Amino acid sequence: MDKVNLEVVTPARVVLRREVDMVVLPGSEGEFGVLPGHIAFLSGILPGELRYTAGSEKGYVSLSSGFAEVFDNKVSVLVDAAEKAGDIDLERAKKAIERAKERLSQDRSKKEIDFFRADSAMRRAMVRLKVAAKAEHN
C-alpha cells in the first residue's frame, strides 16, 4: 500500500520526518485529512493538533500557525513552532496559560498589554496540553 511522506518543519529544525498511512491537520478552512493519492493543494495551518497513523502507531504534534503543502504523496508542514506530544513540557505549558490569563484579565484600555498576543499564547499553550495528554494515553 502507498504511504504519505510527512515532514513538519520550523525555522529552527525538522521536527518530524516519516512515512505515514494518514495525517490529519488543522487547516484554516477546517480540519483535513490526507491519504495516499490525495490531490495537490495548499492550506493555511492554524494552531492545533496534527494526528497521524503509521501502521498501529498513532502520533500527535502540537502546531502553531503556518502552511501545509500536499503534493505527490508528500505533506510538507511549515510552521512557526511544533512539538511532538512526548516532548512537551507540561509545567511550561501550564505556566504559559496562567501568564496569558493574567494578561487577559487586565483592563482592555491598557496600551502596554497586547491582548491579541496574550490570547494567541493561551491558545497555543492549551493545544500543547491537549496534545501532551494524548501522549500519556498511548
From the number of C-beta atoms within 10 Å of its C-beta (0-12, 13-18, 19+), residue 120 rates as: middle
Whether 65 contacts 46, CB under 8 Å: yes
List, for residues 32-50, the tens digit of each pLDDT value.
Answer: 999 999 999 999 999 999 9
Q: For residue 83, how far is the Cα from the chain centroid?
A: 7
Supply the pLDDT for residue 113: 65
Q: How confident is the model at residue 13 (pLDDT cuts 50, 70, 90)?
A: very high
pLDDT of 56 higher than 80: yes
Whether 104 contacts 115, CB under 8 Å: yes
CATH for the 88-137 domain, from 1.20.5.440, 3.40.50.150, 3.40.50.300, 1.10.260.40? 1.20.5.440
Q: Which fold has domain 4-85?
A: ATP Synthase; domain 1 (2.60.15)
- Supply angle C-alpha 22, 24, 29, rounded to 5: 140
Supply the pLDDT for residue 19: 98
Supply the pLDDT for residue 8: 98
Distance, CA of 85 to CA of 130 (rounded, Å): 9
pLDDT of 136 higher than 90: no
Distance, CA of 131 to CA of 28 (rounded, Å): 19
List, for residues 87-112, the tens digit of each pLDDT value.
Answer: 888 888 888 878 877 877 776 666 66
Domain spans, the chain: 4-85, 88-137
Least confident range of 42-51, 60-69, 77-86, 102-111 = 102-111
Supply the pLDDT for residue 128: 86
Supply the pLDDT for residue 101: 79
